[in-house]
Structure 1
Amino acid sequence: MTTVKEQEIIQQKFKEKMDEDELLNCMRCGFCLPSCPTYIESGFQESHSPRGRIALMKAVVDGLIEPDEDVERSLNLCLGCRACEPVCPSGVKYGHLLEQARDIINQNKKHSMPVKWTRKMVFEGLFPHQERMRHAVNLLGLYQRSGLQHTVRKIGFMKLFPDHLASMEKVLPRVPSMKEMKNRPKHLNAEGTPKAKAAFFTGCLMDTMFLETNNATLKLLQMAGCELVIPDNQACCGALHGHSGEKDRAKQMAKKNIEAFEQTGADYIITNAGGCGAFLIDYDHLLIEEPDWHSRAVSFKSKLKDISQILADLKFTENRSLKLPSQVVTYQDSCHLRNVMGTASAPRMLLQAIEGIVFKEMEGADRCCGSAGIYNIVESEMSMQILDHKMEKVHDTAAAVIVTANPGCLLQMKLGIEREGLSQKIKAVHIADLLLEAAGS
């Protein structure tokens, strides 16, 4: 709970730092309301809509209300999916406003010692250091490979945890060994005639827990004619920090990544995680107050593409036969890939080019699945409510495969399948893994 003094400081910081022009851009038209999952799932509470949250931010700036627990609760309950942005006739950058508000609150309130310690460990001690991330993920691998996981499940230990966490433990992917995680090449040649030089953004969890998907992505890029550079001095994208009120640390990682990828001389910078890509493409906004870095961020942004988009641009499906056994496949959009990076048609085009599959568009595929980084852990009730409704739409497609383009979405859809007891009938896969399978590699 924030003290009166903290609220006074937060209110002053809102006046100094919030983009009032952007706040005033909101016309209160309500076009955003049907696109907002928390507005719908909360029973149409205005304070849980983009329009309502902007109104709360503006009221704090104007001194009409105090930045109390209700305001903070409204901001924290937001998924940050940014589905409101494409439908906004005024082009309000709601995501930027949300991150700024969260940053102001988190930097000017006193956290309890457990929260302070946890934030320090995660934001300072773990994510900025890939070697530490490997060791942390390796502990999970040891848990899986040692037989401890089997024992824990057999004695019913997971029953002590909430149902969604117990189910989440079941759907975690097989973690590669430390040797596999460290065996990352720095350069790969294109297959056949080179068409482009691409630098690959490996990510934190993607290059540890989802290493197989990263390897599949690299293979696809080689097959598409890309010479590949994988900078070993790249850092975490900073998304978790930026979304959680740790903006300064996000800036530090942004600068490190810009420097790392500038040195590659690549034509493109490729990512295979929608959440990472959306934050990377916003580096120009993140560094807007630092002119030198801002111009470098603009150049960085101009080269950024998702794996599905670069494959489409390089006409991957025209030059290679893709085939799978007969099955119905559907696609769940990554919110950030669609709403921020503007990539929606490319993954669908790639899937529809696979011989043997029937692609069935899911109703509301563009609506958030409820993962949203760590949202499904810290806001589990709302997350599971959203997921349950998402699984109703999956049922309607009769799909055997749900394809995603982001690790969080992938785990969330696996969680939905597990909760519905459908693990023997439906699987969730990353688009890179499915495409590589279809290519026969």
Structure 2
Amino acid sequence: MADKQFKKKISDALENDVLRGALGRFGDTYITAREKAYEGYDFPSIRENIVKVKSYAASHLDEMIDQFEKAATARGAKVFRAASGEDAKKYISDLAKQQGVKRVVKSKSMASEEISLNKALMAEGIDVQESDLGEWILQLAGQHPSHMVMPAIHMTKEEVADVFSGHLDRVSQPVITELVKTARVELRKKFLEADMGISGANMAIAETGTLMMVTNEGNARLTSTLPRVHVFLVGIEKLVPKFEDATHILQALPRSATAQQITSYVTMVTGPTPAYYQDGSVKDKEFHIILMDNGRRKMYNDPKFKKTFQCIRCASCLNVCPAFQLVGGHVYGHIYTGGIGTILTNFLNSENDAKNPQNLCLQCGKCSEVCPGNLDIPEMILELRNRMGEKQGLPFTQKFALDVVSNRRLFHSLLRVASKAQKPFTKGQPVIRHLPLFLSGMTEKKSLPAVADIPFRDVFKTIKQDVKSPKGKVALYSGCLIDFVYPRIGEGVISALNEKGYEVVFPEGQSCCGAPATYMGDRNNARKLAKMNIEALDAENVDYVVSACPTCTHALKDSFLELVEDDPALAARAAELSRKSFDFSKLLSDLGGLEPGGDGVPLKVTYHDSCHLKRKMGVFAEQRKLLSDTKGVELIEMKESDRCCGFAGSYSIKFPELSEPILERKLNNIEETGAEVVAVDCPGCLMQISGGLDKRNPNIKVIHTAELLFEKRNKKKQKGNKK
């Protein structure tokens, strides 16, 4: 659970309208601009090439370092291998003393930020000047970067003007062109006076010993050419084997980072350039390259995190992250920000500094969708979370709740009790709109669903399945919400599968899929529930296992496999369960879909994509086809249909202050469609969105695809049954 100080940072960021506005405007335009930048390019192919290049370099790391050092040394460079940040700082400090350096000018380098290089050099009495415009602004403001590519993205032109006015000898007006002109005038003399230039690099090419910088300002070239001593500080993950390999990264880096076709400058430095001294002499400059580890090997040698070497530091994961767009980078607490930043912080700085930031991840998967390195950042953050849970334990209340959930009989008994105890709060309605005292905040912005009077496991026993000559048998995995909150969804699943000629069974021993335990970092209870469900579902004796909750389906197909991998017999059963498990819309589609039908009554429907269903399982067209084939349904596409609704399981409880504005954006998009109904395939999304709409616009209903199909296709049958 996040501590109070971290919560205070979040609160302060959310109250900063300037910050929210700056991040929101960029986030809104980035997606469209990125799509336009990639027009005519095969992003999956580019990504595949990047993965191939970067993974090869990582798996041959020592060979790449040796090759790079040999090539760079042959061209006049001095190469130093720094095992730690302290080693790198000492090398640069000693070099500065040896060369009589008094003034240093730096171009953008996140590696130098990572090890607090400026602070170390300034402690030695050396004047250090940032020359990247964003970095210089932050240096004057006494801040560190909030974004890996656009360090001052959180600041407005008015704030920058105030910073300039406070540090320079003249008042600056908030006009961007004038601010840039001011920076140019102030920094130009710094380049001319500097004794040492320090640069970062986007790539280090082993074949030729070349350093490559991809920038939008001319400062990097001035830093690398004017001072008589030049130092490149480069993380060992930046190595690529050959020159031609760099082209794949060059195709993706500007498009993913800033949605540009190409940056203003692509600078390649191979060996030292001439240095011009004040006495008129010309000599090759002192040219040094530091290849820094500082925890990178440890990260690569960890099987769960070795793919981090495929990251090209484009920060596209930040650009699409709903949480980052609300709070910015400074909330993350260290130099690297966003999802990938949390992982880097854990290995390159400390586990403690990553403890709070990892909680910000919604697990929506949008970052993985746009990542040119094809990293599954949410899965890696989950791994961090679970390791922290095993090492440090969970807070008592979380651990107690998860222990209850993993005890099937106790958990189900408590839910049955809750269905009776909630009566004073439901007042005969299927929702809870107000809770008393300290619980009141839970219903301030959205309603909560009531626990069903009769759970689905009891309803199932009353359902008559009239299937003549069944084609096969399907086990229905309901998950907690369908079983105890939305049993009608389960009825819809059965009806559709019966129509396709399949008999549905409901294994009584099933319980929670373990997702709450997994996402809160309680791997022990997650394993316990995985084992319980593998045994209960008995996949060997059915043709398919169907779920109508994508989070549960993901657990059945993927999570269980990992949780029981150390038990060969159980792992074999988990593999069989994985092979046979399908989400409702996917299974129905694979079985040929339903014949066009329905009551024909006009109904405007829009669709919200579940994060797990679309991005984990790639299912998004199937449910739309099912809805479109239903007579009377007019399907209206929603803007940002696949943007997270802010539920994310326990996230909406841990971080209601973040969940609510994310939900608000979703509700705005829903209302813009003019639809009467929102169809969803995730009970969690249903609970989140319907709760918000009940408070804001109760005329719009939210319904699961399975239930909507059931209602539209079986209305006459239902009326007949009532008679």
Please classify the TM superposition score into its range, dividing by the shorter chain length: 0.7 to 0.9
Q: In structure 1, what is the equivalent of residue 231 of structure 2?
A: none
Q: Note if contact 1:187-1:228 (Cα within 8 Å) is conserved in structure 2.
A: no
Offset of residue 149 of structure 1: 4.1
Offset of residue 289 of structure 1: 4.7
- Structure 1 residues 119 and 157 mapped into 2: Cα distance closer, same or farther (>3 Å)? closer
Offset of residue 228 of structure 1: 1.8
Q: In structure 1, what is the equivalent of residue 700 of structure 2?
A: 426
Q: In structure 2, what is the equivalent of residue 120 of structure 1?
A: 399
Q: Could you tell me how far apart the structure 2 residues matched to 1:372 and 1:384 are?
A: 12
SS at match of 2:648: coil
* 2:583 corresponds to which of 306, 312, 315: 306
Range with greater deviation from structure 2 (428-437 or 89-98): 89-98
Is residue 274 from structure 1 mapped to residue 560 from structure 2 by the alignment? no
Is residue 54 from structure 1 mapped to residue 311 from structure 2 by the alignment? no
Query: Once the two structures are aligned, what percentage of the paired residues are identical?
Result: 27
Q: What amino acid sits opposite 1:310 in the alignment?
A: L
- Structure 1 residues 312 and 149 mapped into 2: Cα distance closer, same or farther (>3 Å)? closer
Q: Could you tell me how far apart the structure 1 residues matched to 2:434 and 2:702 are?
A: 26
Q: In structure 2, what is the equivalent of residue 363 of structure 1?
A: 639
Is residue 138 from structure 1 mapped to residue 412 from structure 2 by the alignment? no
- Structure 1 residues 31 and 193 mapped into 2: Cα distance closer, same or farther (>3 Å)? farther
Q: In structure 1, what is the equivalent of residue 613 of structure 2?
A: 337
Q: What amino acid sits opposite 2:547 in the alignment?
A: T
Q: In structure 2, what is the equivalent of residue 316 of structure 1?
A: 593
Q: Note if contact 2:311-2:372 (Cα within 8 Å) is conserved in structure 1.
A: no
Q: In structure 1, what is the equivalent of residue 489 of structure 2?
A: 213
SS at match of 1:305: strand
Q: Note if contact 1:231-1:264 (Cα within 8 Å) is conserved in structure 2.
A: no
- What do you get for the CA RMSD once the two structures are aligned? 3.3
Offset of residue 44 of structure 1: 6.3
SS at match of 2:601: strand
TM-score by length of 1: 0.84
- Structure 1 residues 350 and 51 mapped into 2: Cα distance closer, same or farther (>3 Å)? farther
Q: What amino acid sits opposite 1:123 in the alignment?
A: L
Deviations 1:145-170 (A, max 9, x none): 4x45449x9998647645552454x4
Q: Note if contact 1:401-1:429 (Cα within 8 Å) is conserved in structure 2.
A: yes
Q: Could you tell me how far apart the structure 2 residues matched to 1:292 and 1:96 are?
A: 25
Q: Could you tell me how far apart the structure 2 residues matched to 1:205 and 1:106 are?
A: 25
Q: Note if contact 1:277-1:341 (Cα within 8 Å) is conserved in structure 2.
A: no
- Structure 1 residues 258 and 181 mapped into 2: Cα distance closer, same or farther (>3 Å)? closer
Q: In structure 1, what is the equivalent of residue 709 of structure 2?
A: 435
Q: Could you tell me how far apart the structure 1 residues matched to 2:712 and 2:533 are?
A: 33
Q: What amino acid sits opposite 1:392 in the alignment?
A: N
Deviations 1:376-413 (A, max 9, x none): 11100000010111111111101110111111100111
Offset of residue 211 of structure 1: 1.8
Q: What amino acid sits opposite 2:580 in the alignment?
A: K
Offset of residue 51 of structure 1: 7.3
SS at match of 2:604: strand
Deviations 1:19-42 (A, max 9, x none): 231322333233434432112222
Q: Could you tell me how far apart the structure 2 residues matched to 1:222 and 1:154 are?
A: 34
* 1:92 corresponds to which of 375, 391, 406: 375
Range with greater deviation from structure 2 (337-346 or 135-144): 135-144
Q: What are the within-5 Å matches in structure 2 for residues 37-436 of structure 1? A: 37-43=322-328, 47=332, 52-61=338-347, 64-68=348-352, 70-109=353-392, 115-116=395-396, 118-125=397-404, 127-145=405-423, 147=424, 149-150=426-427, 158=436, 161-168=439-446, 170-173=447-450, 175-177=452-454, 181-182=457-458, 184-185=460-461, 191-262=467-538, 265-282=541-558, 283-318=560-595, 321-420=597-696, 422-423=697-698, 425-436=699-710
Range with greater deviation from structure 2 (41-50 or 328-337): 41-50
Deviations 1:214-243 (A, max 9, x none): 222222221221122222222321111111
Offset of residue 108 of structure 1: 2.0
Q: In structure 1, what is the equivalent of residue 309 of structure 2?
A: 24
Q: Could you tell me how far apart the structure 1 residues matched to 2:566 and 2:400 are?
A: 28
Q: What amino acid sits opposite 1:286 in the alignment?
A: L
Deviations 1:44-87 (A, max 9, x none): 669499973333323432xx32223x522211011111222233
SS at match of 2:594: helix
Q: In structure 2, what is the equivalent of residue 7 of structure 1?
A: none
Q: In structure 1, what is the equivalent of residue 159 of structure 2?
A: none
Unaligned runs of 5+ residues in structure 1 are 3-10
Q: Could you tell me how far apart the structure 1 residues matched to 2:409 and 2:516 are?
A: 18
Q: Note if contact 1:50-1:94 (Cα within 8 Å) is conserved in structure 2.
A: no
Q: Note if contact 1:137-1:209 (Cα within 8 Å) is conserved in structure 2.
A: no
SS at match of 1:204: helix
Q: What amino acid sits opposite 2:575 in the alignment?
A: V
Q: Could you tell me how far apart the structure 2 residues matched to 1:361 and 1:154 are?
A: 30
Unaligned runs of 5+ residues in structure 2 are 4-294, 719-723
Q: Note if contact 1:60-1:67 (Cα within 8 Å) is conserved in structure 2.
A: yes
Range with greater deviation from structure 2 (306-315 or 47-56): 47-56
- Structure 1 residues 324 and 40 mapped into 2: Cα distance closer, same or farther (>3 Å)? farther
Q: In structure 2, what is the equivalent of residue 8 of structure 1?
A: none
Q: Could you tell me how far apart the structure 2 residues matched to 1:380 and 1:18 are?
A: 34
SS at match of 1:281: helix
Q: Could you tell me how far apart the structure 2 residues matched to 1:159 and 1:167 are?
A: 15
SS at match of 1:270: strand
Deviations 1:235-261 (A, max 9, x none): 321111111111122122222322333
SS at match of 2:634: strand
TM-score by length of 2: 0.53
Q: Could you tell me how far apart the structure 2 residues matched to 1:236 and 1:159 are?
A: 29
- Structure 1 residues 401 and 137 mapped into 2: Cα distance closer, same or farther (>3 Å)? same
Q: Note if contact 1:134-1:181 (Cα within 8 Å) is conserved in structure 2.
A: no
Offset of residue 185 of structure 1: 3.7
Offset of residue 327 of structure 1: 2.2
- Structure 1 residues 176 and 289 mapped into 2: Cα distance closer, same or farther (>3 Å)? same
The structure with the largest alpha-carbon Rg is 2
Offset of residue 263 of structure 1: 5.4
Q: Note if contact 1:140-1:175 (Cα within 8 Å) is conserved in structure 2.
A: no
SS at match of 1:325: coil
Q: Note if contact 1:284-1:294 (Cα within 8 Å) is conserved in structure 2.
A: yes
Q: Could you tell me how far apart the structure 2 residues matched to 1:347 and 1:325 are?
A: 19
Q: Note if contact 1:32-1:51 (Cα within 8 Å) is conserved in structure 2.
A: no
Offset of residue 415 of structure 1: 1.9
Range with greater deviation from structure 2 (305-314 or 26-35): 26-35
- Structure 1 residues 150 and 198 mapped into 2: Cα distance closer, same or farther (>3 Å)? closer
Q: What amino acid sits opposite 1:428 in the alignment?
A: V
Q: Could you tell me how far apart the structure 2 residues matched to 1:154 and 1:57 are?
A: 39
Aligned pair count reads 417
